[in-house]
Structure 1
Amino acid sequence: MIWKKCKLLFRKKMGEDELHNPLCEWIEAKKTVARFTPWTDEQIALEGREVTKNEQRYVIPISFKDFPDCQKVEMDGQKLDITGKIDLSPRWTLIQVKTYKGVAPHGNCQY
């Protein structure tokens, strides 16, 4: 099993600019590890190719009830949007993240 180091991040509003747009920072909620989980044939059939092509799943050794309220995960220097969380109680949480092919996503403060 290959585990990757990762950081779970949440968005914190730090103020506003002169046009009253929110200024935000990504704050680390927790450091942990994650393991890539490939899509099964059944999941591909249910979710469709567009979802499985543009999203990945990672299992994280944190129970669902203890999983922090976060919107992004940072792995390999790239911040990925968390699009879903699945309870694999009692010991795991599975996160689904949006992948970005060759483009590092930027963190804005849109809610």
Structure 2
Amino acid sequence: MNQTPPPDNAAAMAMTAYTLGRALYTAALRGGVSETVRDRMMKPRPGDLVIEVTAFHTQLDPDGIGRLVSIQGTPEMPERYVVEPLHRPGTQQGWRNATFAAVPDQPSAERWAEGGEPS
């Protein structure tokens, strides 16, 4: 399922991913999801669908919703995230001083968190 949506659906897909991802991220912070899912969300990997979660109370930046291309630095101390925004397929946006959360992109969040293939 690691496919970028076509440009005509990209803005709607980005907003849906952000809305659902934000709700799941908030639930994860409050203990509303399994520890396995929470831990996986907090450690995004290249290829993951991600949302920028540094400051939820500021204006949404659509460039912070997309596929994680790379993490520069170490996973424990990332220096820079590179994201392909959903609304601009084929482009990349670099982020410093930001936090990203991975969002499950398959029907079972538990299976996703455990590294399983989509069902």
What TM-score bracket applies, with the shorter chain setting the length? under 0.3
When normalised by structure 2's length, the TM-score is: 0.26
TM-score normalised by L of structure 1:
0.28
Flag the structure with higher helix content: 2
Higher strand share: 1
